[in-house]
Every structure is written in structure tokens, then in C-alpha cells.
Amino acid sequence: MIKSYKLRRHIANGLIYLLLIILGIIWISPFIYLVMHSFRAEGLIAVDHLIPQQWTFKNYIDLFTGVGGNASINFPRWFLNTFVVAIFSCIISTVSVLMVSYAFSRLRFSARKKFMNVGMILGMFPGFMTMIAIYYLLKAMGLTGTLVALVICYSCGAGLGFQISKGFFDTIPRALDEAATIDGATKNQIFWRIILPMSKPIVVYTVLTSFIGPWTDFILAKIIMGDNLDNYTVAIGLQKMLHNDFINTYYKQFLAGSVVVAVPITLLFLKMQKYYVEGVTAGGVKG
């Protein structure tokens, strides 16, 4: 038994850090591999060695200038599509989520509890369960293969994810609302002028989650877009690059593309990071 408390603490800390370092390496190695190999010059597809022998920016340049000579692969277009879809669904879903949460948190109306329960139950079904139904509904409206369809899918159900921001609104004292009401403010004014400015963290959280959705969603986009290559998003576009017809030419561009996709999300995260943690934890407190 080691007597010295200090030594014991050092050993314990050492072991803990060692474990954390190992876990950290395991977690980050795929990303490092991805980034390194997106700069690889040699080989066509995967290579045996871990560290590239020749480095180049060519994969990135090719990705955006369409070298590879193939009209079907148009990464800049896909990137733009995704960006547009992400912006629109982000705006629509943020507004709708916050409004729904506010209504459930502040207003008292009959069937409020029931609506919340329905929302909970609907939220329990995984999104892809209704995929086929969504496809045929969109087809009936003549929207399959369009970006509008994607925006509709990503943002129209967003209101169901009200739980976290409702939790956050519940923590804002009702006394504020009452004071505003006495001063003559309507419910609408209270929401925009009083509650929203106080809820930055949760707004940021909602913006982030709804912005990331379109970048990472694969199945829904795949089934809606079908063979309409011009309207592909990055997720299905990148998968297309790995298809048998393309993989030999586009594997390295695929790696580069995967890195590029991370850029807008990362930028947004960096910008909004300081609110993010606050938002996640604040919403978890049940009021």
C-alpha cells in the first residue's frame, strides 16, 4: 500500500489520463485518417499504408472544379443544394419549435396536456417509418425530386421536438409575463420582446440541431431525390461517389468532400459554442 497521499493521487491521475488518452486516440483516429488521406496523391482507392507518401491539394481542387470529367458528379451544386435546404429548414424549424414551446409553456388551453402527449407519442416513432408514406404524399403533390420537398420534410415536423425548449421556457419566471401583461403587452409581444431575448442559449441550440439535420440526413433525401442527380444533397452525393461506376476516379475526392462537409457545421459550432452547452443543460431542468 502506498502511504503517500500525493503519490497515490499522481498514480491515480496518471492512470486516468492514460485511459483518456487511449480513448481519445481511438475516437479521433478515423478523423485524422480521413483528413490525411484527403490530401493523398498516390493510389486510386484505399491504400495499405496509413500515412500518405505524397501530399497534394489536387483532390480538393478537383472536387470543386469538376475534374474527373463526369457530368453526373457535381459536388459544388450538391453543396449549394444542401446549404440552401439547411438555411431554409433551419429558419422554419427554429421559429416553429420556439413558438410551439412557448405556447405549451405559457398558454393554458383545453387539451394542452393531450396535445403534448400526442407530440411525445409521435416523436417516439423513428422518422424513416413513415418514409414510404411521405414519398407517396409528396408524389401526389408532384414534389418528388425537388429541394422544396426536403425543406418540407425537415422543417414541418420540427415543432414536435418542443420538449427541450419548453423545459427552458418553464424556467423563466412567469412573473415577467405577468408584469408585461399588466403593462399591456399581448402574448405575441411577450414572446418576441421578452422571452426570446432571454432565451439565447436555447435559440442557438435549436438553430444548430436544425441546421445539421440536412447535412447528415441520408435515407429521406435518397428516397425523395431518386435519380434526380441535380438536386442531390451532399450526403447522397458522397455515397454516389462510392458507387462501382465512380469509385476508381472519385474515391479521393470523396475523402476531400467528407472533410469539406464538416466545414460549415464546424464554423457554426465555433461561432455559437459558448451558448451551446448552456442551452443543452438549461433545457434539461424541468420547471
| Closer CB to other proteins, 120 or 176, in the complex | 120
The total number of residues shown for the chain amounts to: 287
Contact between 28 and other proteins by CB under 8 A: the answer reads: no
> What is the DSSP code string of the chain?
----HHHHHHHHHHHHHHHHHHHHHHHHHHHHHHHHHHTB-S-SS--S-SS-SSB-SHHHHHHHHTTT--TT--HHHHHHHHHHHHHHHHHHHHHHHHHHHHHHHH---TTHHHHHHHHHHHHHS-GGGGHHHHHHHHHHTT-TTSHHHHHHHHHHTGGGG-HHHHHHHHHS-HHHHHHHHHTT--HHHIIIIIIHHHTHHHHHHHHHHHHHHHHH--HHHHHHHTT-GGG--HHHHHHHHTSTTTHHHHHHHHHHHHHHHHHHHHHHHHHHHHHHHHHHHHHHS--
| Closer CB to other proteins, 87 or 122, in the complex | 122
| Closer CB to other proteins, 4 or 244, in the complex | 244
Range 34-63, binding other proteins (CB under 8 A):
42-48
Contact (Cβ atoms closer than 8 angstroms) between residue 144 and residue 132: no
Instruction: Tell me the site size for other proteins, rule CB under 8 A.
Output: 34
Output the CA–CA distances (angstroms, integers) from residue 280 to 140, 192, 203, 212, in the order listed. Answer: 39, 21, 11, 16
Contact between 219 and other proteins by CB under 8 A: the answer reads: no
Q: Read off the C-alpha cell for 56.
A: 497534394
Q: What's the closest the beta carbon of residue 76 comes to other proteins, in angstroms?
A: 17
Contact between 18 and other proteins by CB under 8 A: the answer reads: no
Range 257-286, binding other proteins (CB under 8 A):
none
Q: What's the closest the beta carbon of residue 178 comes to other proteins, in angstroms?
A: 31
Q: What's the closest the beta carbon of residue 114 comes to other proteins, in angstroms?
A: 7
Site string for other proteins, 97-116 (x = CB under 8 A): -----------------x--
Range 223-242, binding other proteins (CB under 8 A):
223, 226-229
Q: Read off the C-alpha cell for 284.
A: 434539461
| Closer CB to other proteins, 102 or 250, in the complex | 250
| Closer CB to other proteins, 73 or 103, in the complex | 73
| Closer CB to other proteins, 4 or 110, in the complex | 110
Site string for other proteins, 65-84 (x = CB under 8 A): -----xxx------------
Site string for other proteins, 145-184 (x = CB under 8 A): x---------------------------------------
The site for other proteins (CB under 8 A) is made up of 42-48, 70-72, 114, 117-118, 121, 130, 132-133, 135-136, 139, 144-145, 223, 226-229, 243-249
